[in-house]
Amino acid sequence: MLRSQRQNGAKRDKVWLLEPDAAPEDSWWQGRPIWQVAVTAPSAAFARLEAEHWALNRLPRHHVGNESPACNAGFTDPRLYHARALAEAEGPRPEEFGASPVMVLAGPMVSLAAS
């Protein structure tokens, strides 16, 4: 589904919570900032992609050691983030989201893992 179709209300999206599932000192973070976000999307997979897209457009790119820049914010990695649907009374409602499908609830928190 195209982003423009969703913005016009062609499909009612759920609100998904993406929250850290790994401890801040876990080496999987590789120095990435840690967020807790709510995302409007038709599925958990699309919520992960929306969050990843949001992060890559807003966060500075970082290098991991002597490698090329990492173009991965970590939202698509199930070892780092857990995705679950929010009940209507539990979190923000879809109409509370502005132009962006992503709403920051907490963060950025610092990863304690060596970068």
75-88 pLDDT tens trace: 999 999 999 999 98
Percent of the chain exceeding pLDDT 90 equals 49
- Burial class from Cβ neighbours inside 10 Å (0-12, 13-18, 19+) for residue 96 reads exposed
With CA atoms as reference, report the closest residue to 56 among 72, 80, 37. 72
Residue 33 CB neighbour total at 10 angstroms:
16
2-34 pLDDT tens trace: 454 445 544 568 999 999 999 999 999 988 889
Higher per-residue confidence, 94 vs 62: 94
Pair 76, 65: CB distance under 8 Å: no
Would you kindly state where each structural domain of the chain is located, as residue ranges?
3-109
Mean pLDDT for 81-102 is 91
d(Cα 111, Cα 88) in Å, to the nearest integer? 31
